[in-house]
């Protein structure tokens, strides 16, 4: 019979083993991952703090237990306050660096950060400036951490419509990785409210991004059915799917994702929080793996979801062995949009 002390020791050992795994992060948003203390400090500096204490600020930025399961739009409400301070070049550059440094501390070695530049231009920055400032922060992180490889995925927000998406695709191509010796834009995505905004509407933007050499990923199947995942793959040409939870409802879709090796970026904690997966139900990551669909273990938003890479890997390890977790990251590495020649060997 296992004693409580032995169980605690075993859990500690497992946590240490998970922490040592070289990880691949393919789906993490800048806005939802800014450390609370950094947002608070920037707000105080600009005299913009809406509350008086750091603890109160944390409640505004981190999804609270009573707010969980209220839907995607409630979850997205948590992104509003950071936008007050991420309208300035130097702030965004610092934020990007801090988010990358925090990922590196979790032993992330392949790090794709995703970000919608258009919603950071309200104070006068151009879209190009709003992209370059993030690249500056990621380059700073790469200079500091010799075993970290970074790339930026530019997001078009669904609710702003297809025309703005095309503008963003062109701007993203202008800063594409193949035009840079340092960190560049490696991918293009659409995100935001799925309902009423089917992927097919954004076909022209994705054609621009593809012709410009960017990797294609699409938020789909988080708040809508498998048809949106089909459209992301068939109409937009996505090679990766963000969330994709509803895909498990369609066996033929699972076979298609497995056949073409379309990777699903799985974000376990946030999927339960938004209601994309019901509490108590097994996460689709396991069904994807059983069907032969490649997956990545991702955080989505470390601050909003109150999570990190080690925690997400521990959740997956409740049904997977450590060797299987290592295998997930090894296979995910082959699906990163960061070019092979820029990937640094993990230490």
The pLDDT tens digits of the residues spanning 8-40 come to 777 788 889 999 999 999 999 999 999 999 999
**Stated pTM of the model:** 0.95
pLDDT at 72: 79
Whether the per-residue pLDDT at 220 is higher than 70: the answer is yes
19, burial (CB in 10 Å: exposed 0-12, middle 13-18, buried 19+): middle
The number of angstroms, rounded, from the C-alpha of 41 to the middle of its chain's C-alpha atoms is 24
* pLDDT computed for residue 66 by the predictor: 86
Mean pLDDT of 224-247: 98
Query: Could you tell me if residue 1 is inside a domain?
Result: no
| pLDDT score of 11 | 79
Model pLDDT, residue 76: 83
Residue 90 appears among annotated catalytic residues: no
Give pLDDT tens digits for 179-212.
999 999 999 999 998 999 999 999 999 999 999 9
Domain assignment of residue 314, yes or no: yes
Average pLDDT over residues 213-227: 97
- pLDDT tens-place string over residues 100-124: 999 999 999 999 999 999 999 999 9
Residue 346 within any structural domain of the chain: no
The Cβ of residue 12 has, within 10 Å, a number of other Cβ atoms equal to: 10
Strand partners of residue 191:
157
**With 80 as the cut, is the pLDDT of residue 70 above it?**
no
Q: The domain spanning residue 83 has which CATH number?
A: 3.20.20.140
pLDDT band with cut points at 50, 70 and 90 for residue 164: very high
Domain presence at residue 186: yes
Quote the mean pLDDT of the chain.
95
Residue span of the structural domain in which 58 resides: 20-337
pLDDT in tens, 122-145: 999 999 999 999 999 999 999 999
The model's pLDDT over 249-265, given as tens digits with 9 standing for 90+, comes to 999 999 999 999 999 99
Q: Which of the following is catalytic: 142, 222, 224, 265?
A: 222
Rounded to whole angstroms, how far apart are CA atoms 87 and 93? 11
The tally of domains found in the chain comes to: 1
In a domain, 183, yes or no: yes
pLDDT category at 273 given cuts 50, 70, 90 is very high
In a domain, 5, yes or no: no
Average pLDDT of the segment spanning 217-245: 97
Domain assignment present for residue 12? The answer is no
Q: Is position 344 within any domain?
A: no
Q: For residue 242, which phi and psi values (nearest 5 degrees)?
A: -85, 120
The pLDDT value recorded for residue 1 is: 60
The confidence score (pLDDT) of residue 30 equals 98
- Rounded to an integer, what distance in angstroms lies between the CA atom of residue 23 and that of residue 311? 12
């Amino acid at each position: 019979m296992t004693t409580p002390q032995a169980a605690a020791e075993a859990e500690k050992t497992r946590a240490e083993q998970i922490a040592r795994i070289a990880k691949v992060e393919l789906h993490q948003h800048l806005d939802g991952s800014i450390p609370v203390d950094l947002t608070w400090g920037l707000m105080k500096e600009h005299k913009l703090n809406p509350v008086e204490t750091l603890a109160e600020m944390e409640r505004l930025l981190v999804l609270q237990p009573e707010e969980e399961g209220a839907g995607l739009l409630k979850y997205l409400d948590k992104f509003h306050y950071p936008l007050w301070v991420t309208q300035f070049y130097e702030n965004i550059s610092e934020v990007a660096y801090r988010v990358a440094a925090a990922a590196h501390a979790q032993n992330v070695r392949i790090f794709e950060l995703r970000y919608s530049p258009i919603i950071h231009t309200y104070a006068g920055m151009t879209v190009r400036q709003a992209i370059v400032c993030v690249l500056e922060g990621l380059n700073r992180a790469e200079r500091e951490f010799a075993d970290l490889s970074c790339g930026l995925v530019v997001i078009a927000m669904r609710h702003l419509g297809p025309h703005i998406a095309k503008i963003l695709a062109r701007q993203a191509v202008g800063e594409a990785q193949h035009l840079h010796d340092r960190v560049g834009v490696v991918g293009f995505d659409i995100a935001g409210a799925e309902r009423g905004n089917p992927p097919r509407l954004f076909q022209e933007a994705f054609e621009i991004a593809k012709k410009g050499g960017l990797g294609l990923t699409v938020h789909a199947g988080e708040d809508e059915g498998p048809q949106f995942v089909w459209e992301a793959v068939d109409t937009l040409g996505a090679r990766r799917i963000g969330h994709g939870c509803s895909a498990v409802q369609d066996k033929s879709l699972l076979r298609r994702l497995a056949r073409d090796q379309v990777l699903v970026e799985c974000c376990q904690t946030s999927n339960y929080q938004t209601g994309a997966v019901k509490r108590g139900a097994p996460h689709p990551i396991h069904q994807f793996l059983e069907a032969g669909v490649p997956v990545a273990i991702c955080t989505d938003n470390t601050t909003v979801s109150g999570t990190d890479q080690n925690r997400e890997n521990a959740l997956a390890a409740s049904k997977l062995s450590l060797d299987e977790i290592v295998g997930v990251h090894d296979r995910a590495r082959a699906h990163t949009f960061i070019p092979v020649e820029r990937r640094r060997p993990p230490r």
